[in-house]
Structure 1
């Protein structure tokens, strides 16, 4: 039994124009100690997938399919039961720590809270563990910083606090949603190295969400490429990067800046991301795809096998790979 199994996940958001499907029929699984990256343009459904796993969807959102954690389906679970798992067995590092941390509460109190709620530690025991966590995530002078407020820390330090909070109860799954947003390159590298060390050290499973293909290439073993709420391509990171069987994945890779590339404009994917209210029955990438034909515009392609463990939702996957 996989640690996490996601089957036919669908998330519909309530909007003034009616329901909008932000995630459509997503499937993936995660074993203990495994690392999965989710990539795609802004608005493709990456963060909405993470929020669905955590049970933190916006008001009015409708969730269907199956999210099984250790065989137990989380969809439809009472909020009180979800609270026992959230921050305990499944934890999340959010995109922007300055808006995720409570500005009125000292960082030590925020990190200790899940220990007090989920594990029933005394305040003295929680305080000692918080100091150890702050030291482990590399926050300078943890004995002095433990009583600091979020605004008294730098962006990189706040992100380290968020990581310490996510690790407070030794979770089985760590979801990192753009954990290096707005950080400079040096601090970004330190944070990613830290997450990698902690995942290996504690045997956690990791879901890393990013728009940076370079980060994904260096940080995970499997990658899921999302577009307009669907899994366009999914497989071992080396196979996906080498093959790029879906035209959308190929477009993303072509747009990456590279050392040694001649000066000039980077290649772009023509057109724009489709409006979620106007998705038809066909492939959502068809209006932007150079290989699209009538079948693509009328029929959603299934996830077709490319190699063992590697699939792409494209009627012309073989041509794209070539």
Structure 2
């Protein structure tokens, strides 16, 4: 039995223009020790997906499908039961630590809180464990700074504190929602290395949400590429990056900045994906990417593509197969761009 099994997840939000399907038919599974990445542009449904896992969606959101955690159905679970799981078996590192931390409580109080709630520790024992956790995530002089407040720390240190909070009860599943946003490159690398080290050390499963291809390529074993609330490509990370069968995946890869010496001549323009991300209420009935894709046909507009396998176990490149949802992908030439 998988640690986490999501099947045909749909999330509908209420907007001023009417109901909008923000997540459409998402399915995946995750075992303990696995590392799964979700990637896509802002608004593609990444964060809503993990908010659904944590039971933190807006009250007006309508959810259907199945989210099973060790066989226990989370969709429709009452708040009291969810509170017993959140911070204990399920934990999350939020994108912006300054809003995740309470400015009027010390960091020691906040790291110790899940230990007191879920482990029944007394104040003294929880404080000692909080100091050990803060020291483990690299807060200098943790014993002396345990009574300091969030504003007294740098952005990278605040993110380390939220990691300590998430890991306090040794969860089975750790969700990291763009944990390096707004941090400089050096601190980003330190935070990601710390998360991976702690995940390996404790044997937990990791879900890493990002819009950065490099972060996903270097930190997860499997990945889902999302657009318009749907998964357009998924599979082992190495196989997806090697083949990139969906026009959207190729567009994301082509749009990344390139480092290194620039060849002589005029500076080449940075590649972009044509068009703009549509409003959720304006998504076509078929492929969500149809309005921006150079290969789009009437079939793409009207019919949702089914996931098809790309590659085979006997392929010469020895990469495992992966899945793509595109009517054209098997015939897509290597030089085609979105």
Structure-1 residue corresponding to 2:330: 318
Q: CA deviation at 1:167?
A: 0.2
Q: CA deviation at 1:309?
A: 5.2
Normalising by structure 2, report the TM-score.
Answer: 0.93
Aligned counterparts, 1:135-174, within 5 A: 135-174=135-174
- Tell me whether 10-19 or 242-251 shows the greater mean CA deviation: 10-19
Normalising by structure 1, report the TM-score.
Answer: 0.98
Query: Aligned equivalents of 2:147 and 2:135: distance in 1?
Result: 14
Structure-2 residue corresponding to 1:54: 54
Q: Is the 8 A contact 1:245 1:321 kept in 2?
A: no
- Two-structure CA RMSD over aligned residues (Å): 1.1
Q: CA deviation at 1:200?
A: 0.4
Structure-1 residue corresponding to 2:279: 275
Q: Is the 8 A contact 1:246 1:321 kept in 2?
A: no
Indicate the SS of the match to 1:58: coil
Spell out, residue by residue over 1:149-172, the C-alpha distance to the aligned partner (whole angstroms, 9 max, x if none).
111100000000000000010000
Q: Is the 8 A contact 1:244 1:321 kept in 2?
A: no
Q: CA deviation at 1:321?
A: 6.1
Aligned counterparts, 1:1-322, within 5 A: 1-260=1-260, 262=263, 263-307=267-311, 308=320, 310-320=322-332, 322=334
Query: Aligned equivalents of 1:311 and 1:254: distance in 2?
Result: 20
Spell out, residue by residue over 1:73-108, the C-alpha distance to the aligned partner (whole angstroms, 9 max, x if none).
100111100001011101000000001110111011
Indicate how the Cα distance of structure 1 residues 316 and 80 shifts in structure 2: closer, same or farther if over 3 A, else same.
same
Query: Aligned equivalents of 1:147 and 1:283: distance in 2?
Result: 52
Query: Aligned equivalents of 2:239 and 2:133: distance in 1?
Result: 36
Indicate how the Cα distance of structure 1 residues 321 and 77 shifts in structure 2: closer, same or farther if over 3 A, else same.
farther
Q: Is the 8 A contact 1:243 1:321 kept in 2?
A: no
Q: CA deviation at 1:9?
A: 0.6
Q: CA deviation at 1:303?
A: 1.1
- Tell me whether 16-25 or 304-313 shows the greater mean CA deviation: 304-313
Indicate the SS of the match to 2:332: helix
Q: Which runs of 5+ in 1 are unaligned?
A: none
Q: CA deviation at 1:317?
A: 1.3
Q: CA deviation at 1:12?
A: 0.9
Q: Is the 8 A contact 2:284 2:290 kept in 1?
A: no
Indicate the SS of the match to 2:66: strand
Query: Aligned equivalents of 2:111 and 2:269: distance in 1?
Result: 45
Q: Is the 8 A contact 2:245 2:329 kept in 1?
A: yes
Query: Aligned equivalents of 2:331 and 2:42: distance in 1?
Result: 27
Q: Which runs of 4+ in 1 moved over 4 A?
A: none
Q: CA deviation at 1:278?
A: 1.4
Q: CA deviation at 1:319?
A: 2.7
Query: Aligned equivalents of 1:294 and 1:191: distance in 2?
Result: 45
